Amino acid sequence: MATSSAHMESEFHNPNLEVLFSAEEIQARIKAMGAEITRDYAGLNPLLVGVLKGACFFLSDLMRSIDIKLSVEFMAISSYGSSTRTSGEVRILKDLDVPIEGRHIIVVEDIVDTGLTLSYLLANLKSRGAASVKLVALLDKHERRERPVEIDYLGFQIPDHFVVGYGLDFAERYRNLPFIAVLKNPEA
Ligand code: IMP
């Protein structure tokens, strides 16, 4: 195996990152959110819908803090920075594998930014005859909102900075950070 210094550089201690929420802070907040959802959805057998890829990490921890019968599905929608973005057009790249008529849906998202993705997705799921559709988001960048989106369960409110880690990426990098950090210089 090569032993060049490039292989030794720690991604977790990258000086281009400024920690916003530690792994411990994230886990504590998720436990509280899970307890709230456990109380609210007792007996309702909700279907958690994770939005790929970013929300997987959050979803995986959150669902283990929800102590009731539930199931989980995934959707993929056109990603941040796509050319259709400014038009507000959103594309479903991977749809649900099950019908949701009469089900209680909890959409799990990593971050709500402009709200374009979520306002489309929530309306789309409601139109399929779900009994209820609610949203849980780990982060809310409220200042950037262009479309109103109601967040039923929120982890943290954050200022208008580009953040990475705990599933959030910049050009597919940094998803593996156990904490959430501000990316100081995206060009670096
Ligand atoms: P929205 O449609 O503008 O609300 O964007 C939601 C999506 O944009 C999220 O699911 C993320 O994939 C991405 N996104 C928005 N802000 C950030 C950020 O600060 N870091 C990483 N991804 C982000």
Q: Which residues are catalytic?
A: 113
Indicate which atom in ligand 1 lies nearest the CA of residue 54.
Answer: 12
Count CB-CB contacts under 10 A for residue 140. 20
DSSP 8-state class, residue 170:
B
Pocket test for ligand 1, best of 77, 111, 121, 141 (most atoms within 8 A of CB): 111
What is this structure's pTM? Answer: 0.92
Residue 78: band (very low, low, confident or very high) from pLDDT cuts 50, 70, 90: confident
Q: Give distance in angstroms: CA of 112 to centre of ligand 1.
A: 6
Given this model, what pLDDT does residue 90 score?
A: 83
Angle formed at CA 64 by CA 60 and CA 163, multiple of 5 degrees: 40
Per the prediction, the chain carries an average pLDDT of 92
Residues with CB under 6 A from ligand 1: 54, 80, 109-118, 162-164, 168
Residues contacting residue 59 through CB under 8 Å, at least 6 positions apart: 48, 50, 72, 108
Ligand 1 centroid to Cα of residue 57, in Å, is 15
CA of 42 to the centre of ligand 1 (A): 31
Q: Whose CA is nearest to atom 13 of ligand 1?
A: 80
- Atom 7 of ligand 1 has which residue's CA nearest to it? 80
Confidence at residue 8, expressed as pLDDT on a 0 to 100 scale: 75
pLDDT higher than threshold 80 for residue 89? no
Peptide bond into 53 cis (omega under 30): yes
Handedness of CA 109, 40, 42, 134 (dihedral sign): negative
